[in-house]
Homo-oligomer: A and B are copies of this chain.
Amino acid sequence: MELTENQIAFREGMSRMGAAVNLLTTDGPAGKHGLVASAVCSVTDSPPTVLVCINRGSFVHDKFLRNGALCVNVLASQHQDLCNTFARYVEGVDRFAQGTWTTLATGSPVLTDSNVALDCRIGSVLEQGTHSVMFCEVQGVHLSARPGAGLVYFSRDFHHLHSSAS
């Protein structure tokens, strides 16, 4: 598919909007899966809700929907390798062999040393162009006791954010 001028400018523009790097995970009847995503956004705290945008062409898109649940693991600077493992597909590699995992209410994999993990049930889903917007109802919040530097993607590169407390 040839991109229009507006689409090329849009992609360049979005590369200039820094975003946290998140690992979305799920487990259930459709199996255990993970996807790196930056299109995650807080919606409201009444009740606690986030949304995630996932390409419908992605292999894991339907897995998330079938499991009806996902965990948003907000990655820290020490997770850049893990992030690359999930971003690349290598046949036969168990991506969850790396990292330490637990579960909360939904059974979705929770990365124990993520800066924060939001365990969610997927509520309403809205199709928008190539993507689904999944509204995720937060069932539980796992807060790391010692959060690491934040991992952010900006200008097609990783950046590490050191908080004054860390």
Interface of A toward B, CB cutoff 8 Å = 3, 6-7, 9-14, 16-20, 22, 38-49, 51, 53, 74, 115-116, 118, 126, 128-131, 133, 135, 138, 140-141, 143, 147, 150-152, 154-155, 157, 159, 161, 163-166
Contact = CB atoms under 8 A, between A and B. Distances in A.
Contact of A19 (B18, B129, B147): B18
Contact of A131 (B3, B16, B44, B140): B44
- 7 closest residue pairs by CB, A with B: A44-B129, A155-B163, A13-B116, A9-B141, A10-B48, A41-B41, A16-B115
How many copies of this kind of chain does the complex include?
2
A6 B48 contact: yes
B141 A16 contact: no
Given A39-B42, A41-B51, A17 B155 contact: no
A43 B118 CA distance: 20
Contact of A161 (B18, B53, B128): B18
